[in-house]
Amino acid sequence: MQVYSPPLRDMRFVLHELHGSAALKELPGLEEMSEDLIDAVLDEAGRIVTQVLAPLNASGDQEGCIYENGVVRTPKGFKEAYRTYAEGGWGGLACDPAYGGQGFPASVAKLIEEMMCSGNLAFGICPGLTHGAYIALKNFGSEELKQRFLPKMVAGTWSGSMCLTEPQCGTDLGMVRTRAEPQGDGSYRITGNKIFISAGEHDMTENIVHLVLARLPDAPAGIKGISLFVVPKFLPRADGTPGMRNGVTCTGIEHKMGIHASATCQMAFEEATGWLVGEPHKGMRAMFSMMNSERLSVGTQGLGLGEASYQGAVAYARERLQGRALSGVKNPSGPADPIIVHPDVRRMLMTMRAYNEGCRALAGWVARALDLMERAEDPDERRRAEDLTALMTPIVKALFTDLGFEATSLGMQVYGGHGYIRDQGMEQYLRDARIAMIYEGTNGVQALDLVGRKLPAHMGRYLRAFFHPVLAFLDAKLDDDAMAPFVTPLSKAFGALQLATGFIAEKGLKDPEEAGAAATQYLRLFGLVALGYMWARMAEVALAKKDSAGDDAAFYEAKLVTARFYMDRVLPEVAALWGAIKAGKGSLMALDDALF
């Protein structure tokens, strides 16, 4: 049986103590954003997730979505749960009040997103995509399109989808064939086929707003000829209600490894009416505003599933009696000791804990940058936030989903054979987590984005958004003896990151394959150092508070123990990654294609 309780104490630590939520009130539109208000919202979100969404997770997985004659039915209880979610205003939490949203900061919304991913990932995909579509329309849509679609999407009455992939093109969107023919009234006729469309068809909302990549008749070849269109399932009437059915049809859903309660659709557009979003042939710019949001959200999926798996594994490890502790009997009244006493079980649990809490802290830092990007009045501050977000987006997406999959695998391993059985629910986390490493740009593509685009951009300017704060922190703590167990290993790992960055910059200029060969290991190295920076900062806060924390002293002690574990047992992986990067592309590219 799956167990999940939102880690509210740690979320508040990240938000209030580590990243200083009090500073949010200095940003325009957040003047009333008090700690008490934030905590009340987190509490209520936790209640909705645990009482409404989580109970549907296992049953939704077993029942799955049903497709018949172009109609998709979600599992029992999902429509009612979505109604509760929408009526509570959760879909509009971080949306502009001008369109009916509540205007909460991203740094709060991302924590609630994590809860939803832990409690019921398949459910959370639909509102997550809706928010991504909202971002693209808000940033690039005309005022008429915004007024027509955004209030309904913010209210949760209409949902959104992202229609990029076609049978012949996935990552290489320059191969898109879907056509858009201009009409005399300013609309377009969209014709083509899309695949792998999450939430492309379902029964939870009265309308679905598709964002579709297509080509105009005069489009140049390749990626520079892509335009973005908004294509609703039902054409809106003048009063805003859904009218005539558009030429959009779901022709089937995929039978897949996980996220069974989220329909992954094949979509046919047959002269469907759509409207241009942004400028002609500039669709990728608009779509990337949505995709970058989704990539951060997908990273959060890895974190959410890792947390749920950790909680399940801890509960089992405390109850399961097997063998005796190597240091002597711990449960003399029972036939065996609980498996949590065994070193290898503790290795797995501590690894999961260190991954989850480190990723939560890093997600909080990036989410704060999202708030500054949107709201800061100082243009230099906004630019630094934009730089950090651009740099960290591929790292968050790839690292969090890699570690989330590792965590769900470890959680299943803690259960032993019982983890492999469906009744326990642990194998569902593993299956659900696997897709996050693939969709919204595979993790290998994220690594190529990091080394091929983000590192050289603006003569390495993006790197300064990360390197400068880390260097300043290390310099400030160099003579702090209490921080030495955290600062010393971080300093060594950061040195390896600097060397690896220089190595890739030099070799990649001469031979792009050298950068490509190093990309995945470089991203993981970078990510582990970023988590190390977060753990050192968390340790600093815990050291300052633990002696006067009263009932909270155990929380800070656990934080320090986990920080030491990360520095001792996880961060040393950086050395091996740097060694592999230094080896270059030679043995990786040497084998002739015919010999594979």
Residues with catalytic roles: 440
Rg from Cα positions in the chain: 24
* Element housing 234 (H / E): strand 234-236
* Burial status of residue 587 (CB atoms within 10 A of its CB: 0-12, 13-18, 19 or more): exposed
Q: How far apart are CA 374 and CA 381, in angstroms?
A: 11
* Burial status of residue 176 (CB atoms within 10 A of its CB: 0-12, 13-18, 19 or more): buried
* Burial status of residue 195 (CB atoms within 10 A of its CB: 0-12, 13-18, 19 or more): buried
Three-state DSSP state, 487: helix
Using the Cα atoms of residue 269, residue 272, residue 276 and residue 280 in order, give the sign of their dihedral.
Answer: positive
Q: How far apart are CA 4 and CA 13, in angstroms?
A: 19
- The tokens for 138 are 């808000």
- The tokens for 238 are 């003048």
Using the Cα atoms of residue 338, residue 343, residue 349 and residue 353 in order, give the sign of their dihedral.
Answer: positive
Summary count for the chain: helices (H), strands (E): 17, 11
Of the candidates 361, 307, 402, the one whose C-alpha atom is nearest the C-alpha of residue 117 is: 307
Q: How far apart are CA 389 and CA 454, in angstroms?
A: 11
Q: How far apart are CA 246 and CA 268, in angstroms?
A: 11
- The tokens for 356 are 């989850």
DSSP 8-state symbol, 94 = T
Alpha-helix residue ranges (DSSP H) falling in 283-322: 283-319
Of the candidates 522, 494, 536, 537, the one whose C-alpha atom is nearest the C-alpha of residue 585 is: 522
- The tokens for 110 are 């991302």
